[in-house]
Structure 1
């Protein structure tokens, strides 16, 4: 595995793009590269499907799996929903065009990367090694980043002129060494992400990928860098994700083992005795968790309440078309942000909410079923858990440009299941045919 190399042009593009994460961040190009990569590779995948056997042998296409069809249909539906919302609220043509471009750089990526992973012959090992290489460079740069606030270096170096292409904000094109937390005025690090909490869950993703690496040195680099990103970001969500997204996928196979069932029964019986104390401790822990960043918790809760009330009272089916400026009570944060699900209800209504919920839930249930029987499900299940966690604290669509390795893994996993269905992983579980 130490001499792993790309086997076709698509793997070469993916591998080099991933391993060049830090140089691309240094010039503020990551937000541009993500959508370009998605649309270029999706074009190659569509061409491979169209040409069939006429395509070069190392790029032969596979059929689109069911779960990927759900993503394609759901994310495609986001576009007409967006248009209807703009028409309903009287937004002009310029605003509609701008939002359509935003869809192509956001929601579309949630379907395009799984589509590419499912159709083209991309090995998950390429993505795993690429993530570990990013981790290695993260560890190499860590001494400078961690020392920066204490040796007088500035928070930000520069903002790339690539910001002219447009995006959610200048932070997507800015090279940061660190940032100061406005609540405590202590330094936090965001590495190659636009802000610290997102960097934390990117660190969790890095750990998930590294746990699947066969080479011990690369595995150590990936795990070390991922844990560093979680700790240095000082994100509560990252700390929870480091446990919640890595351990359950590895425990699920134990469900089918008899000794694990007996152990679970014993633990359940003991809970009957200690339940009250555990509930009290859990409540105290949740309260301490929220109070760790009380201002942030208050603003997010207020944003969610306003988004839900205005969705229910003003725009149930198609939403408001776009986020709206917030008032002083939410520190001028836009209504419809900082939470994928409340944001979808506010911006795209119930139809937009379902357009994401259905493919995500289908893929999650598929990964859960596969993980109980086969190790191939561990990484995609972990990635899905990260996406679920992100969706409750961020707007997932504007982060797809950095989540693309995980999204591609979802497509690769769907292709693997299509080639070797879950029921055939353990032939003994398949119902035998009745002899005639």
Structure 2
């Protein structure tokens, strides 16, 4: 199937295919961060050039949809907030240029890949098969690296010289089979991510996509790779989200049937009456998760408190412009990291926070609406739900170079509904 698709696809589609399936190749040379950041801008340039030279080969010819325009405008507002903050704090031209380049490798990638997904006519089947292959490679990587640990060899290999290009940190260019959890002394895998929780994030994203594969062999291999990633990454939040995603993804279609919606409406009052004991069980479970790694929980909580306090007292509108190294209390970790929303408040102020909150809310509502009519939109809604959930545990900006396959899938799913799709008398999927 993959070969057939590749034989008949455009250069943009081939770049997407090899960009996904060759992720481990780029990782082993320490260039995955560079590839993930550059590929979006390169494909965008190809699309714009094709739009001028070969407009008949551009999918969905016409105006850019309002939702993508919203993402473009709000991400440009983020850049403006960045410049204003740098000027307010006299950070200098050099830091302003570096931060602007960081914006190009972070927030700017979201509207770029949504744009690519909408206009590049990239087949969802090709995306799903590529992700299944990548997850299969992750399964092989997990087995091989586990053998490396069993025989007692070090998991760390080297730091790529590509670090000279610049990036959020050395971990984005380091190459390793596994790391050691300082709290437990046990190995913890980050796969091709910068750290282990990011691998858990990717496992959740990839699970949703792998479950869409029609070929049972590739689907099973892909899901097995996802399971290996979530277990070996030891991501607490990721494991909880991963478990919830399985029934959501498999049975979302059935939940939209009128009889199921009616049953949910009838059970809702009962759930409200039982909300207190149910919430207590949930809170107890969350507390158990936090106590599993108390050191990490303490650091994250302290980082959040410092970020909010300094944002509120020092730079409430446009933020501080850059992250800063934290005190010993947080083991020197950067203030504004480990959390999308606290990070936005600290770096870009309330302007930055609203610049992300508004398009995320609009995208959620639109995908939820489309999900009543289109299966692909239901998958995109599940993917975007993972983004929202993980925004409270990770910084979406610095992981955008890994999230782009899902962004392309979401972009391809926001196409306008056809007359046949909005027919009120058609049968919902069984």
Task: Give the secondary-structure state (helix, strand or coil) at the position aligned to 1:107.
Answer: coil
Query: RMSD value over aligned CA atoms?
Result: 2.1
- When structure 1 is superposed on structure 2, of 250-259 and 288-297 the one drifting more is 250-259
Q: Does 1:55 pair with 2:54?
A: yes
- When structure 1 is superposed on structure 2, of 243-252 and 88-97 the one drifting more is 243-252
- When structure 1 is superposed on structure 2, of 144-153 and 170-179 the one drifting more is 144-153
Taking structure 1 as the reference length, the TM-score comes to 0.92
Q: Which runs of 4+ in 1 moved over 6 A?
A: none
CA displacement 1:7-61 (0-9 Å, x = unmatched) = 2111111111111111111111100111210111111222233x2xx40644456
Give the Å deviation of 1:117.
1.2
Question: In the aligned structure 1, how far is the partner of 2:99 from the partner of 2:78?
Answer: 11
Question: In the aligned structure 2, how far is the partner of 1:84 from the partner of 1:277?
Answer: 48
Question: In the aligned structure 2, how far is the partner of 1:60 from the partner of 1:197?
Answer: 36
2:88 corresponds to which residue?
A: 88
Question: In the aligned structure 2, how far is the partner of 1:156 from the partner of 1:362?
Answer: 42
1:341 corresponds to which residue?
A: 341
CA change 1:279–1:56 in 2 (3 A) is closer
Unaligned runs of 5+ in 2: none
- Matched-pair contact (CA < 8 Å) for 2:81–2:318: yes
- When structure 1 is superposed on structure 2, of 174-183 and 2-11 the one drifting more is 2-11
Give the Å deviation of 1:180.
0.7
Counterparts of 1:249-260 in structure 2 under 5 Å?
249-260=249-260
Task: Give the secondary-structure state (helix, strand or coil) at the position aligned to 2:175.
Answer: strand
Give the Å deviation of 1:157.
0.8
CA displacement 1:107-149 (0-9 Å, x = unmatched) = 1111111111112221111211111111122222221112222
- Matched-pair contact (CA < 8 Å) for 2:160–2:174: yes
Give the Å deviation of 1:269.
5.6
- When structure 1 is superposed on structure 2, of 139-148 and 103-112 the one drifting more is 139-148
Alignment counterpart, residue 425 of structure 1, candidates 418, 421, 426: 421
Question: In the aligned structure 1, how far is the partner of 2:124 from the partner of 2:420?
Answer: 21
- Matched-pair contact (CA < 8 Å) for 1:245–1:383: no
Question: In the aligned structure 2, how far is the partner of 1:176 from the partner of 1:128?
Answer: 27
Taking structure 2 as the reference length, the TM-score comes to 0.93
- Matched-pair contact (CA < 8 Å) for 1:337–1:395: yes
Q: Does 1:314 pair with 2:314?
A: yes
Unaligned runs of 5+ in 1: 431-436
Task: Give the secondary-structure state (helix, strand or coil) at the position aligned to 1:158.
Answer: strand
2:25 corresponds to which residue?
A: 23
CA change 1:35–1:255 in 2 (3 A) is same
Question: In the aligned structure 2, how far is the partner of 1:114 from the partner of 1:178?
Answer: 32
Question: In the aligned structure 1, how far is the partner of 2:220 from the partner of 2:118?
Answer: 29
